[in-house]
Chain A
Amino acid sequence: MIEIDALTKVYGDTTAVDAVSLTVDTATITAVVGTSGSGKTTLLRMINRLVEPTSGSVRINGEPAGEMAPHLLRRRIGYAIQGHGLFPHHSVARNIGAVPRLLGWSRSDIRARVDELLTLFDMEPASFRDRFPHELSGGQQQRVGVARALASRPDLMLMDEPFGALDPIIRARAQDDLRQIQRKLGSTIMLVTHDMEEAIRLGDKVAVMDDGRLLQYAPPAEIVADPATDFVADLIGDTERPMRFLSLVPVSEIVEDGPADGTAIDSGASLRDALSASLWTDREALPVTRDGTVVGRVTLEAIRARAARAS
């Protein structure tokens, strides 16, 4: 759990972060979204004290971060950044094992952990362990960057635009991977992004920042349905709102009994996917399956009703 209390950073005449308070619950992802210059990165960097706050406090699992030696604090918190920041002169294994080595793990423990993480990220340990970062593709470098942040099993992770340098297809895959791994490990993550789509997709809660202030801090559905200010609404994009809302609701929520023809859709898929499929194949209803067996149908009318209720 990260508790941020009235955290403020002032540079000369400008207030980069203005009395922001929020709590990131254990085992959730908080996505901080805002334009550049909104103070979101400064907020993140104050948590592991890469930037020293002007005032306010941060508590990590109840302990005040300000009272720990900065380098010891940072070793407890996973940190992943845009463009990965891998050590170009170290092999993949040494990059991933960097923090465990700082923490004094035994060589065999580090080795086992490196192999475990490479496997988790779909990279064959035997063939990737000894490669150097420049011998990897952009997507692989980014995965090694995230693996490095996870290496010491930190219960806390800070991520600054971790997927910013990736092309859209690899980014979507990396986001899914992160979500899955976070669920599996139960890590607490605070992630900074300029992309509302990414924030809605990944965040259990979304924090919208502008000009150093926290405008709204709520679950994505609430942000989309009820933006606190015009700026938040702008970030979501007016024309995109119904689609963003539908992308947050799983098909299982409005599944009903009844017949439907054609290709089925999984009950875990979003209403946005269902809408897209029914428009594309010109059907009023789609069969819905759970674990391969048909459990009912979802109708265009139900989707429309659900989207309308949000406004």
Chain B
Amino acid sequence: MRKGLILRGLLVALLVALVLRPELFTPLFAPFAPNGGPVIYQRTSLLSLSLSHLGLVAVASGLATVVAVSLAILVTRPAGAAFRPLSRTITNIGQTFPPVAVLALTVPVFGFGSGPTLVALFLYGLLPVFENAMTGFGTLPPRTMEAARGMGLTRWQQLWQVELPLAAPVILTGIRLSVVISLGTATIGSTVAAATLGEVIIAGLLTDNTAYVLQGGLIVGIFAVLLYDALVLVERALARRMGRVQQAA
């Protein structure tokens, strides 16, 4: 536990340094830069790129979560059961359609910038959340649900007070997958001028500067590891509270 804490602290420190004081790493990246070329990316501040990158991911995953969970709730009600296959198909298409293709198709509609990236990330993030929400709602303890109905909870009360809290750890797993995928995928948004950390990587690729590629990749990678870790901790805490430690492990 203590070891984990130290490791996390070190990672956070490394990330902060990479974003705020990239020049400190000049000696490290210099060997990868072309002779005489710039080592550290300085066209845009890495902080503002990080913030807009995270912002895009947050908005896209947030929307995907709201839509996917609402859809899962709808089709697990008796009245919505007929729409279950259809909603599965829709979310599956979102996942199988390559984000690059989504970018290409949405640029004519939204123009260059964040819009197309948002759409691509949103579509890509739907499936994991939806599938996990379906699992979560499908595996509720039947006796608890029976008791909830039997004591006189209305449908809304059953949903808010029992079903959602009990399904939350499983739904959160889906959100975690969706966020981590989006975090990586968001980099390609910079091909259509979205302000993300992908800008650094793409600049590196265009100018044959491996140092840029490493910088951008490293920052995105550490963000992904830390977010993944944080969400796992939240899931565990939730699962432990519900006595589902065995299942969560």
A residues within 8 Å of B by Cβ? 48, 50, 71-76, 79, 81-89, 98-99, 102, 132-135, 145, 148-149, 158
| A99 and B151 contacting across the interface, CB-CB below 8 Å | yes
A81-B152 contact in complex given A88-B242, A88-B243, C-beta closer than 8 Å: no
CB proximity of A31 to chain B, nearest CB, Å = 19
Supply 15 further A-B pairs (C-beta < 8 A) apart from A85-B146, A88-B141. Answer: A71-B152, A71-B153, A72-B152, A74-B149, A74-B151, A75-B152, A85-B143, A85-B144, A85-B150, A87-B144, A87-B161, A88-B166, A88-B244, A98-B151, A132-B241
CB proximity of B23 to chain A, nearest CB, Å = 49
| Interface flag for B28 (CB, 8 Å) | no
* Complex interface: chain A residues within 8 A of B157 (CB): 102
Chain B 134-177, CB-CB to A under 8 Å as 1, else 0, gives: 00000001011111111111100100011001100000000000
Interface residues of B in 207-249 (CB under 8 A from A): 241-244
Q: Which 3 residue pairs across A and B have the least CB separation, nearest first?
A: A134-B243, A85-B147, A75-B152
* Complex interface: chain A residues within 8 A of B149 (CB): 50, 74
* Complex interface: chain B residues within 8 A of A75 (CB): 151-152
Count class of interface residues, chain B: 20 to 34
| B243 and A84 contacting across the interface, CB-CB below 8 Å | no
**Chain A residue nearest to B161 in the complex (CB):** A87
* Complex interface: chain B residues within 8 A of A71 (CB): 152-154
* Complex interface: chain A residues within 8 A of B165 (CB): 89
| A87 and B243 contacting across the interface, CB-CB below 8 Å | no
User: How far is A42 from B141 in the complex, measured between Cα atoms in Å?
Assistant: 20
* Contact residue among A82, A102, A135 (Cβ-Cβ distance under 8 Å from B143): A82
User: How far is A98 from B149 in the complex, measured between Cα atoms in Å?
Assistant: 12
User: How far is A83 from B150 in the complex, measured between Cα atoms in Å?
Assistant: 14
| A148 and B243 contacting across the interface, CB-CB below 8 Å | no
| A84 and B143 contacting across the interface, CB-CB below 8 Å | yes
User: How far is A84 from B144 in the complex, measured between Cα atoms in Å?
Assistant: 8
**Chain B residue nearest to A85 in the complex (CB):** B147
CB proximity of A192 to chain B, nearest CB, Å = 13
* Contact residue among B148, B153, B243 (Cβ-Cβ distance under 8 Å from A132): B243
CB proximity of B54 to chain A, nearest CB, Å = 30
* Complex interface: chain B residues within 8 A of A149 (CB): 151
CB proximity of B172 to chain A, nearest CB, Å = 14
| B152 and A74 contacting across the interface, CB-CB below 8 Å | yes
User: How far is A135 from B242 in the complex, measured between Cα atoms in Å?
Assistant: 10
* Complex interface: chain A residues within 8 A of B144 (CB): 85-88
* Contact residue among B152, B241, B242 (Cβ-Cβ distance under 8 Å from A102): B152
* Complex interface: chain B residues within 8 A of A134 (CB): 242-243
Query: Can you list 17 contacts pairing A with B, beta carbon distance less than 8 Å?
Result: A71-B152, A71-B153, A71-B154, A74-B151, A75-B152, A79-B147, A81-B147, A84-B147, A85-B141, A85-B148, A87-B161, A88-B242, A89-B242, A98-B151, A102-B151, A102-B157, A148-B151
